[in-house]
């Protein structure tokens, strides 16, 4: 008996994969059992205790050469935290439907597209796919752990994944089913100013770390405006900066000894993380020598595909769209693109506006449409290889 896509989404959402701590393994095992039951060759790759990636390959024909290029559908199994569950209008780990919207944590980001991958797998394995002939096409479904926090799943995967058989990757992040062909890179920094404590009545005996930090912040923003804001990448636009957090001082009547500033930068080529590091250091040293700058996230690079790239054209035709979009947020596309040198398109049901929100939902119509779009991706991708 085949499973309905909404029933599968309901199952996926019922697994609590809020990250931290993630605990993706039970969900990944559920998908493993489902896909191996359909005839997929599956492999669970441990990432950390109770956390794993899944690689599930559809290899319909044993005579397939190892180097036959295939498409990968990739999704992350974790979600962001639910937050205060009493603010949700329905239980966040259950799917509830109203007005054509399916509510639940992860429904949009991105268990919806994982359910669509499973539906495609089921259609293909049972011979009920909308397009005749695609059952003979090899493809792979990959699920990763820890996308929302530290990218440990994709990092483990890119270290041991054999690339030659893969010709392209579709990441099912929510794009309202409009192909995304690039996004900015991201780098976070923690900048720590070390001052000297003193009694507030004798500030002349101390060194005020908060004042150092505020001076730094002003100079940083002025420098950014002059140096990096004018930089425009033809597809990705300009780099951006946000000073997101400052902590410093311990008490009103003490000269603060330490102040920390956290900065988020969204970068585009040719700007690189090392450029930022150097410039931040120069600006900080104009203020004080007692400063340390630490990367606060593994920096990740921007990626983009040209409009005329075959995978872009295939995904546009499959999604029945004229033009693609630039995805606003960072994704694992960067890892596939830079670490494995693979072309990647971001394409999935749901809207980025719903990601990480209370009462997150995916529209049922978009969820169901994604199945046909992914099946057409397989067809056009295979046609293109057959012609090549
Ligand atoms: Zn996501």
Distance in Å, CA 171 to ligand 1 centroid = 9
When pLDDT is averaged across residues 339-360 and rounded to a whole number, the result is 94
Is residue 366 very low, low, confident or very high in pLDDT (cuts 50, 70, 90)? Answer: very high
End-to-end CA distance of the chain: 38
The pLDDT value recorded for residue 315 is 98
- The CATH number given to 5-182+302-387 is 3.40.630.10
DSSP-derived pairing of the beta strands 291-295 and 101-103 = unpaired
Task: Give the contacts of 98 (CB within 8 A, at least 6 positions apart).
Answer: none
- Say how far apart CA 243 and CA 213 lie, in whole Å: 11
* Percent of the chain residues past pLDDT 90, beyond the cut: 85
pLDDT digits (tens, 9 = 90+) for 246-295: 999 999 999 999 999 999 999 999 998 899 999 999 999 999 999 999 98
CATH fold, domain 185-295, is Alpha-Beta Plaits (3.30.70)
Distance in Å, CA 270 to ligand 1 centroid = 26
What does the mean pLDDT of the chain come to? Answer: 94
- DSSP notation for 66-95: TT--EEEEEEE--B-----GGGSSS-TTS-
> Which residue from 156, 13, 177 is spatially nearest to 79, judged by alpha carbons?
13
The pLDDT value recorded for residue 66 is 47
Distance in Å, CA 111 to ligand 1 centroid = 9
| pLDDT above 90: residue 163 | no
Q: Do domains 5-182+302-387 and 185-295 have the same CATH topology?
A: no
Residues by chain with Cβ below 5 Å of ion ligand 1: 109-110, 173
When pLDDT is averaged across residues 213-227 and rounded to a whole number, the result is 97
Distance in Å, CA 12 to ligand 1 centroid = 15
Distance in Å, CA 350 to ligand 1 centroid = 11
- Say how far apart CA 251 and CA 258 lie, in whole Å: 12
| pLDDT above 90: residue 36 | yes
Distance in Å, CA 25 to ligand 1 centroid = 17
Domain ranges of the chain: 5-182+302-387, 185-295
State whether the Cα torsion 372-374-375-377 is positive or negative: positive
pLDDT digits (tens, 9 = 90+) for 180-208: 999 999 999 999 999 999 999 999 999 99
pLDDT digits (tens, 9 = 90+) for 84-130: 999 999 999 999 999 999 999 999 999 999 999 999 999 999 999 88
> Which residue from 44, 76, 93 is spatially nearest to 149, judged by alpha carbons?
76
| Burial (0-12, 13-18, 19+ Cβ within 10 Å), 270 | exposed
Distance in Å, CA 357 to ligand 1 centroid = 12
* Contact present, 180 and 325 (Cβ < 8 Å): yes
Partner residues linked to 380 by β-bridges: none
Distance in Å, CA 252 to ligand 1 centroid = 42
The conformation of residue 293, written as its DSSP 8-state character, comes to E
Whether the bond between 270 and the residue before it is cis, its omega within 30 degrees of 0, is yes
């Amino acid at each position: 008996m085949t499973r309905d896509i909404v029933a599968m989404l309901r199952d996926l959402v019922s697994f609590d994969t809020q990250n931290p701590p993630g605990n993706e393994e039970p969900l990944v095992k559920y998908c493993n059992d489902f896909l191996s039951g359909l005839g997929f060759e599956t492999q669970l790759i441990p990432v950390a205790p109770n956390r794993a990636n899944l690689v599930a390959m559809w290899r319909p024909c044993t005579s397939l050469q190892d180097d036959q290029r295939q498409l990968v559908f990739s999704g992350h199994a974790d979600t962001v935290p639910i937050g205060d569950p009493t603010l949700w209008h329905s239980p966040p780990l259950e799917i509830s439907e109203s007005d054509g919207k399916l509510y639940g944590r992860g429904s949009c980001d991105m268990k919806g597209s994982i359910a669509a991958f499973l539906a495609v797998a089921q259609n293909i394995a049972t011979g009920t796919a909308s397009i005749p002939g695609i059952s003979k096409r090899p493809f792979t479904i990959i699920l990763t752990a820890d996308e929302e926090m530290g990218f440990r799943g994709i990092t483990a995967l890119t270290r041991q994944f054999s690339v030659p058989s893969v010709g392209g990757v579709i990441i099912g992040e929510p794009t309202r089913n409009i192909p995304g062909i690039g996004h900015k890179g991201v780098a976070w920094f923690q900048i720590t100013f070390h001052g000297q404590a003193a009694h507030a009545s004798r500030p002349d005996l101390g060194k005020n770390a908060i004042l150092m930090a505020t001076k730094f912040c002003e100079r940083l923003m002025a420098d950014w405006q002059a140096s990096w804001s004018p930089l425009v990448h033809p597809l990705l636009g300009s780099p951006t900066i946000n000073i997101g957090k400052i902590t410093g001082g311990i008490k009103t009547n003490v000269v603060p000894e330490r102040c920390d500033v956290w900065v988020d930068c969204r970068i585009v080529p040719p700007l690189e993380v090392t450029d930022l590091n150097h410039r931040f250091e120069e600006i900080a040293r104009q203020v004080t020598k007692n400063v340390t700058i630490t990367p606060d996230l593994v920096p990740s690079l921007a990626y983009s595909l040209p409009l005329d790239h075959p995978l872009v054209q295939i995904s546009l035709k499959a999604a029945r769209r004229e033009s693609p979009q630039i995805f606003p947020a960072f994704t694992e596309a960067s890892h596939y693109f830079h670490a494995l040198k693979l072309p990647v398109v971001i394409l999935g049901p749901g809207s980025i506006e719903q990601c990480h929100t209370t009462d997150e939902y995916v529209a049922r119509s978009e969820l169901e449409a994604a199945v046909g779009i992914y099946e057409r991706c397989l067809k056009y991708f295979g046609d293109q290889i057959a012609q090549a």
